[in-house]
Structure 1
Amino acid sequence: MQYPPFTPPSPQPFTAAPQGQVHRTGADPSTHYPAPRQQRPRPRLKWVASPPPGAVPRRRAVAAKPYDGPPSYPVPPRWGFPNLVWRRPTAVPGTASGEVRPIDRIPVLAQSLGTILWAFAILALAAAGSEVWRYALLVQSRDSALSTSVVGFSDAFVVTAGLLTTILSLLPAGLSVWWLIVARHAAADESGVEPARPVWQVLVGVLVPIANLPLALSVVSELEHSILRRPRDDRPKPSRLVLLWWAAWIVNWVMLAVTVVWRLRPGVQAMADSVVLVAITDVTAAALAILTALVIRRFSDLLMPIAPDRLRTLRVLKVDGAPAPELHTARPVGAAR
């Protein structure tokens, strides 16, 4: 098969055109071609000179020495750790070792507060007993005359027990609030989670009347939740002891309000009823003090480690039925010393 001979096309002349437009002669003048794009300058190259291979001598690799066993000394060494048990660092002024952590305050506060709360509970029960005695004398006076000395002693007992109970109630209340704040900081340090409420909300939820009735349960439940190191996103679930404490808390505050309002009423019957209400209020105060002492003791035991005197030392006295241990006469090669 033969192909026709190739004939190159004849060049076509170009004519002048406006700037930015080029067209060929003989073509349609209305056909315009875009102007050629300007070329961007290439980025400059950075030349880095490096020494040729072999110009710099290589460092010789140090061969690892074989293990020759534990170190030995020609004479007993004169250095070492002191023959002492672990102890806290010495308190140096101006350093962090001089600061007392909140966890270190818990045992002292818990022990002192527990003693004060139990003493207050006994005093409150004594005040309640004096009110019961006064009510019994009131019932007896309806049918017969009373002895002057008995009535005077009963009045003195009631006034003394009532004043001591009212005044000394401020001491366990203040110490309990202090222990609550310290326990919150200690639980936050141990769990690594910041408390859910600031301090001012805790004070409002415990000290402000009416508002402290529902908020006291939330404050104590959040403290128990933090001490037990439960997840922060979970809702606090108070234990049975905390619920009993909250019930005593509400009953005591309600009885205190009812007693104050009832004493403002005139009449002999209102005075007799006030004696009964005061006795019930003293009993609820004693119950609240006892439950508070139990809650503080439980939370303090959870925060603090177990005391050494509460642990029983166990010893192996005899082993029956165990096979005789295998004796190794030689130490295998590569075994740890």
Structure 2
Amino acid sequence: MATPPDPAALPDSLRPRRPEPAPDRYAGPPRYRSVPRWGLPVGPWRMPPGPDDGPAAPVDRVRWLAGQLVPVLWVVVVMSLIAAAAETWRYTLLLQSRSDALSPVAVAWSDAMVWFGGWSSVAAVIAAGVLTISWSRWSYQAAAERAGTRPWRSRRSIVAGWLVPGWNLAAPGSLLAETEHTALGLPADRRPSPSRELMVWWVMWVACVLLAALALIGRFRTGTQALADGVVVHAWADVGAAVAAYRTIRVVRWITGLLEPEPRGPRELLVRAGPAGEPPTSPAPDRPEPQPQLDRAEPDPAPDPAPRPG
């Protein structure tokens, strides 16, 4: 009686093959009878807070707000310069209209540039204003926390100092002067003395506010000459806004750098020039640099014996 051979003893070519299962057909995306309750959270992924994690430190908020504020201020600079160029072009067309007829295309382009530059600069100024007020508040609190003092200005007084007409000419400058004074670690009982960078910003801020108020008041005047004067005032107000925004960028970077817990970037080293023929020397560092350790110490060579007198 014949018996079937053992499949394990047969060569690979003679072994019986198992039928492969047919691939499943694609039936489309899954369907649910109700809205699923699971899913990913909206926004970027963040590390979940631990039990010992508290609220963000004021200096972290200052750093984050400065990173958001500086690009918006650059947008204010660009949009304000575009608006100033548009107002200057409009004034040039007004001068040409006194003797010649204007091209409808030139007038249409001028009106479009004035509209775009004006409203874009206004939107950028509002966004920069909100961020600047928030940044100044948290930088004031971060400076006080770093110095170990308690800030005496409340949140309402800081916001009112930026927004109330008349008061906003002095309050922002004094607020930033106190923040700078505290961030530099100067005595609390000493009167704050603003730096040159802050003083230049303060002057430009006052000029920008006054020009904006003058441009707003000029809208209520009527007449051809009043319209021409309004174009000139608007052009100067746009230039002032661009310069004030640029100076604000410098102040934001300056004060934010003072509030950093550890200085970053290149360090300045004072090098003294030595006598002729000698290399320049530098002062000794505050802390000695660690010397590399050798695997085994090698003894210094013995000095040559001094010659004896004959």
1:125 to 60, 72, 81: 81
Q: Cα deviation per residue 1:210-231 (whole Å; 9 max; x = unaligned)? A: 1111222211111111111111
Q: Which residue of 1 aligns with 2:144?
A: 188
Q: Which of the two has higher C-alpha Rg?
A: 1
Deviation of 1:257 after TM superposition, in Å, equals 1.4
Deviates more, 1:151-160 or 1:195-204: 195-204
- CA distance in 2 between counterparts of 1:328 and 1:186 reads 55
Looking at structure 2, the residues matched to 327 and 108 of structure 1 have their Cα atoms a distance apart, in angstroms, of: 54
Q: Does 1:297 align with 2:258?
A: no
Q: How does 1:1-337 map to 2 (within 5 A)?
A: 92-95=49-52, 97-304=53-260, 305-307=262-264, 310=266
Kindly provide the amino acid, as one letter, of the partner of residue 109 in structure 2. Answer: F
List, as ranges, runs of 4+ consecutive aligned residues in structure 1 with deviation greater than 4 Å: 309-312, 326-329
Deviation for aligned residue 1:118: 1.2
- TM-score (ref. length: structure 1): 0.63
Q: Helix, strand or coil: the match of 1:306?
A: coil
Deviation at residue 107 of structure 1 after TM alignment: 2.4
Alpha-carbon deviations, 1:51-86, whole Å to 9, x = none? xxxxxxxxxxxxxxxxxxxxxxxxxxxxxxxxxxxx
Identical-pair percentage: 35
1:226-271 CA distance string (max 9 Å, x none): 1111111100001111111111111111111111222211110100
What secondary structure, in the 3-state scheme, does the structure 2 residue paired with 1:184 have? helix
Tell me if structure 1 keeps the 8 A contact 2:73–2:128.
yes
SS of 2:209's equivalent in the other structure is: helix
What amino acid sits opposite 1:281 in the alignment?
A
Superposition CA RMSD, Å: 2.3
| Structure 1: distance between partners of 2:216 and 2:241 | 15
Judge conservation of contact 1:181–1:199 (CA < 8 Å) in 2.
Answer: yes
My pick for the range that moved more, 113-122 or 194-203, is 194-203
**Structure 1 gap segments, 5+ residues each:** 1-89, 313-319, 321-325, 330-337
Q: Distance in 1 between matches of 2:299 and 2:132?
A: 62
Contact 1:91-1:98 at 8 Å conserved across structures: no
Q: Contact 2:75 / 2:124 at 8 angstroms: preserved in 1? A: no
Structure 2 CA distance for aligned equivalents of residues 261 and 92 of structure 1: 51
